[in-house]
Amino acid sequence: MILVYILLTLIAGAFLSALSGLINKNLPRIISLFCQIAAFILASTFYSKINNFSFAHSDYDIFIPWIGVIGANIHLSIDGLSLIFILFTLFLGIIGTLVENKSIAQGFYHFHFLLLITGITGIFISAYLLLFFFFWELMLVPMYFLMVKFKNLKDDNNHAPFKFLLYTQLSGLFMLISILALYFMQGRMSGIYSFDLRDLLQNSIPAPYAIPIMLGFIAAFVVKLGIIPFHGWMPTAITASPIGVILTGILIKTGAYGIFRFSIPLFHEPSVLFASTAMALGIVTIFYGGFIAFSSTDIRKIAVYSSISHTGFILVGLYAFHILAWQGVVYQMIASALGVGGMLILAEMLYSRTQTYDINQLSGLWSKTPNLSGMGLFISLTLLGLPGLANFIAEFLILAGTFQQSVGITILASLGVVLAAAYSLRIVQKIFVGHYQGPSEIKDLSWKEKGILALLVGVLLCFGLNTKPITQTVEKSLQKIIIIESDNPDVNPSDKDNALVFLNHKNE
């Protein structure tokens, strides 16, 4: 019941935050923080034994009757892949709560904020497609209202909430159609009509029918990832949102999780056929995001487009069908969440002191604010993938795994690392070094700000130096997803045992 308790803790926190705002304006923030920490502790209890779990077949699976007329149940499950993302969702939620502006309507804000966290968490533990879609839609509603209520009035983002809703709802409709098509197709083939992942994995649909169904799922997932050309909602949504840390950090990465959990396992052969297209989109995304980040002068947009560039690496790694690349994808999702989130937090700290996001209007801050500048330097080095930091591990694993399938794709993706160095060092050169340009009086970081940034920096450094907490936690989950069977005589059996073989079409 721990999975249920995690969700109930967050939901209860949401309603208590809304009600407590009527009593004391500071209570919602305290309740929100307490409930997220409690949920984090509950989720952490799985960590020591998670490698014994198999998603949708775990001893901790929860089955609750839901829609009796179609035999639908609430099926919650967890494995290493889910656990990693749940922990980081809650961790970033805590960070987002700490950096939140106290001047906003606390009750309204934390009610929707915790519902958003609930929706994202639910996505990671749903083993039932209809329930997955429910949480997928649930997280969009509070996000929309937060953007409408607290959008950044300093920017021309009046259409950002509508654009966010249009992109995500339209792509979600395609996924719903595909879920229903999969339900009826599988039912006619096997005689068992079910939305349960366990049942759906028992049979494979013929490729001519599976391809359009898979593309419905892919439409929803690549839109959420922000892959070119489906990224139109993302830059304005992040700059208009009061919780850009969560939006950039985890919400957009739910698209990659959906590909991991549903698209590839349910559609083996179509995924192989789609791989070259996906990798091409990934390469375009890497370069487009990198070039726009380099040409931007708004530090928030640099962070956003660097995140888009990172999603290009994620897409390339996903369709490399190699365990190293997949571990790199998980690492990239986490490292990008922390690095880009840290840059957005830094941008707001800079704005509060200088009243500008424009890097051309700032320079030489190191002489006035050494602590802020030092943190800014570290976060910038994280985005460029400096060895010893988490982003370096992520990119190295993705490139190493992709090399097994395509040397050309690997070389092209490697050039994206050069672009990352260019826009990251440009931030350092424009803002922190040179002759001072800025307000005559400027304060360095407060103790609270130092603590928040130090926490992000510490996690990035820890995971850059020690990969086991992540790679070992997700390894068995990824090995169960990847397809080891192959008729290729060149495949080494020992490689099969270690799941270090890229996906091969059986009829190749």
pLDDT in tens, 176-195: 999 999 988 888 887 778 88
Beta bridge partners of 128: 196
CA dist., res. 499 & res. 489, Å (int): 16
Give the three-state DSSP class for 76. strand
Among 400, 382, 390, CA closest to 470:
390
User: What DSSP line would sit under 38-67, residue for residue?
Assistant: HHHHHHHTTGGGGGG--TTS-TT-EEEEEE
- Cβ neighbours, 10 Å, residue 505: 16
Residue appearing with tokens 């009035």:
153
pLDDT score at 496: 36
pTM recorded for the entire structure: 0.88
Q: In this structure, are residues 291 and 256 in contact, taking their beta carbons and an 8 Å threshold?
A: no
- The answer to whether the beta carbons of residues 394 and 357 sit under 8 Å apart is no
Angle 323-354/80-99 helices, nearest 10 degrees? 0
DSSP 72: E
pLDDT of residue 245: 67
* Cα dihedral 243, 248, 254, 257 in deg (nearest 10): -140
> Which long-range contacts does 439-447 make (Cβ < 8 Å, 24+ apart)?
439/353, 439/354, 439/355, 442/353, 442/354, 442/365, 442/368, 442/369, 443/353, 443/369, 444/368, 444/369, 444/370, 444/371, 444/372, 445/349, 445/369, 445/371, 445/372, 445/375
pLDDT < 50 regions, the chain: 153, 484-508
Q: CA 398: distance to chain centroid?
A: 16
pLDDT of residue 135: 93
Within 10 A of 24 (CB to CB), how many other CB atoms are there?
12
Contact 76, 3 (CB under 8 A): yes
pLDDT of the residue at 101: 66
Half-sphere exposure (CA, 13 Å, Cβ side) for 19? 6
Model pLDDT, residue 491: 40
**Quick one: how far is CA 201 from the chain centroid?**
25
Q: What is the pLDDT of residue 444?
A: 86
- Count of CB atoms within 10 A of residue 403's CB? 18
